Amino acid sequence: MAQPSPHCPNPMQVHSLQRETDDVWTLNLINNDFYPYQPGQFALVSIRDSEDTLRAYTLSSSPGLSPFVSISVRCLPDGIGSRWLTQEVKPGQILWLSDAQGTFSCMQHPSDRYLMLAAGCGVTPIISMCRWLVVNRPECDIQVILNVRTPENVIFAEQWQQLSATCPQLKLTLMAEEQVQPGFLHGRIGEQVLRQTVPDITSRTVMTCGPIAYMQQVEQLCQQFGVPATQFHKEQFHTPVEQGEKHGKQIMLRIGQPLREYRVPVGSTLLAALESHKLPVNAACRAGVCGSCKTRILEGSYTTTSNMTLSAAEIEQGYVLACSCQLQGDITLA
């Protein structure tokens, strides 16, 4: 059984698959060796035992509490990784995972008072942290607000009910946009909901995960309420939609020999520019953490938000992490 990728050295056997909603499954994995991770972290998964096709998924289990290492996956119609994991993988099969990664964890942002905000699959790191907190920090005050389209879209619904019923230090608020049932507020997260539900928001550490637009809205609301920036943390799991894409200004992306040229939006990430033209690029975490999208720029204008896995010599040679490189002008790649 050969390790498919140097990024994924941990073989784990699939014990079972559990359907959470119409389009979300949890894969419970047996790890025969010690696998350290923190609640809220994620891991890369080798898709079809491939060296190049890696995808990042939150570890929805809680360390020291869950019998398995678990990932929860939403099946996307065009998702290479999610369709394989949810529709083809069977119990007994081996999956290869990276070491745990990421800083979105209550262990890295300790507090006695939290506000956890999640929408959609953003609930996966939130429940991992909440389970861990109520056992390991029982004095901790935790407010949770979950946003879903309909009540049927609540992931881990039974687990949330049990947590809120048995853990007085955790207060759960559910919100649905449609088909609202008793126990749900109607609508989306907003100023009025936060003001009524969490009037002491400025005294809490805020952690949020969900679609990019949702996290941006939450961040704006927290700034509006005066939450200190040091108390606000969001899961940097996705490649953001850059401002240049909205305004339509184009720059030139030039690649290799023979020279090929492509027009891309100014301000977009190098990763988004490459993927938009179906150019080969290995990307897993999309958060400037794993280093799999390392790319060399020969010349051009750009900025970077993360060089986490690059050496000083590599940076000097023009290497960047494509997911964390924002294009400001014409670019030529090696």
What pLDDT is attached to residue 241? 36
- In this structure, what DSSP letter does residue 140 have? -
DSSP tag of 239:
P
pLDDT at 78: 81
E strand intervals along 183-259: 184-186, 205-209, 232-234, 250-255
Positions in the chain short of pLDDT 70: 236-249
Residues whose CB falls within 8 Å of the CB of residue 2, separated by 6 or more in sequence, listed in order: none
**Tens digit of each residue's pLDDT (9 = 90 or more) over 90-117:** 999 999 998 998 889 999 999 999 999 9
User: Can you say whether the dihedral through the CA atoms of 144, 150, 151, 156 is positive or negative?
Assistant: negative
Q: What is the pLDDT of residue 249?
A: 66
Distance from C-alpha of 91 to C-alpha of 68, rounded to nearest angstrom: 13
Q: What is the pTM of this model?
A: 0.75
| Mode of pairing for the β-strands spanning 232-234 and 250-255 | unpaired
Domains and CATH numbers, the chain: 10-97 (2.40.30.10), 113-234 (3.40.50.80), 243-333 (3.10.20.30)
- Other CB atoms within a 10 A radius of the CB of residue 117 amount to 28
pLDDT per residue over 156-213, tens digit each? 999 999 999 999 999 999 999 999 899 999 999 999 999 999 999 999 999 999 988 8
Alpha carbon separation from 307 to 69, 286, 292 (Å, rounded): 29, 13, 12
Residue 90: predicted pLDDT: 97
Are 304 and 325 spatial neighbours (Cβ–Cβ below 8 Å)?
yes
Q: Using CA atoms, how far apart are residues 296 and 319, in angstroms rounded to an integer?
A: 4
Cα gap 171→115, rounded to integer Å: 10
Structure tokens at 147: 């946003």
